[in-house]
Amino acid sequence: IDAFRIFAKTDNSVHIKSYPANGQFICPSSGKPCSCGESKVLSCESSAGSVTCTEHKAVSRNVNDGSLYKDKELIFPPELVLRNVFPLKLHGVDGISWYRPIKFKHLLNLKSLYPDAKLVVGNTEVGIETNFKNAQYPILISVTHIPELNVLSINDNGLEIGSSVRLSRLQEVLVKVIKEREVHETSSCKAICDQIKWFAGKQVKNVASVGGNICTASPISDLNPLWMASRAEFRVVNPKGSVRIVPAKSFFLGYRKVDLAQGEILLSIFLPWNNHFEFVKEFKQAHRREDDIALVNAGMRVCLNE
């Protein structure tokens, strides 16, 4: 939908954030001030705070055998990278309504109106339920563009992870944290990072969210045992904006049942740093090493006295 709006546009300024800043034009390729204008297709490079733009020549490929471009690959369309995001409301067949709010207060309003609405990020679980299990969800709410649900911050006590954060992004941050923090603090981070490595395929990890995996409460979840072993805490918010904290070990009530009242949303996950002589380890046994559901999953934590 966004791609259609971008490439079917008539007014570029409505969709693209390429507007003058202090009299300077913002290049759609680099997102930085430059003097290229929009008269030509340009390729911009930055060095030492300055931006240099050169004309970008068209490249060709063999349409018969699908061989790669001879000179260089085309860049991802900058119009899509710099697009303005709008809230959406769509109606589908059989009375299905699909919403995409972009503000947290709008999401809470929708949940107060439709407390049983299904939240969707990557559609990796809901898509299976609707296509293969005949599940019916008349109201779907996409929470991919809510800033409060995409927070991923590092603080003195631990890591704050928004429920809409993609697994691939979480993995990248965990790798960074493991390199920068003290070794004893990141035992949980390393265990989760190692487990994500064997979590589904790359395409799934690029769209699947942390909160979606938690709230599905699958008994073969790769990560839920580690959240419990790591003493993680889940921040849950109701439609009125009140937040309560639930320990991970108390959040899972049974088979695909979690401690979420009607209308409540999983806001974020807090992963505390580990103490000295505290160790967390993951375990997964499956038929295949990669891209397979687990036969057995485990998350273990050991604390040793000095």
> Are 133 and 194 found together in one domain?
no
> Are 208 and 138 found together in one domain?
no
Could you give the maximum distance between any two Cα atoms of the chain, in Å?
Answer: 69
- Tell me: pLDDT of 213 over 90: yes
Distance CA 136, CA 149 (A): 25
pLDDT in tens, 221-243: 999 999 999 999 999 999 999 99
> Are 293 and 166 found together in one domain?
yes
- Tell me: pLDDT of 54 over 90: no
> Are 106 and 68 found together in one domain?
no
> Are 198 and 268 found together in one domain?
yes
> Are 138 and 152 found together in one domain?
no
How far is C-alpha 121 from the geometric centre of its chain's CA atoms?
A: 7
pLDDT in tens, 249-260: 999 999 999 999
Domain hosting residue 66, numbered range: 2-81
Per-residue pLDDT, averaged over 205-232, amounts to 94
> Are 173 and 50 found together in one domain?
no
> Are 128 and 189 found together in one domain?
no
> Are 295 and 178 found together in one domain?
yes
> Are 52 and 101 found together in one domain?
no
> Are 275 and 298 found together in one domain?
yes
The DSSP result for 31-62, as a single string, is: SSEES--SSS-EEEEEETTEEEEEE-------
> Are 192 and 274 found together in one domain?
yes
CATH code of the domain covering residue 114: 3.30.43.10
Of the three residues 142, 177, 211, the one that is the final residue of a domain is 142
What percent of the chain is modeled with pLDDT above 70?
76
Residue 24, pLDDT score: 60
Residue 36, pLDDT score: 57
- Tell me: pLDDT of 68 over 80: no
Closest CA to 78 of 112, 27, 124, 36: 27
Give per-residue burial for 4-24: e unless 16+ CB within 10 Å, then b.
eebeeeeeeeebbebeeeeee
Residue 67, pLDDT score: 52
CB 262 within 8 A of CB 284: no
CA dihedral sign of residues 14, 15, 21, 24? negative
Per-residue pLDDT, averaged over 267-290, amounts to 92
pLDDT in tens, 166-186: 999 999 999 999 999 999 999
The tokens for 105 are 């207060």
Report the domain count for the chain.
3
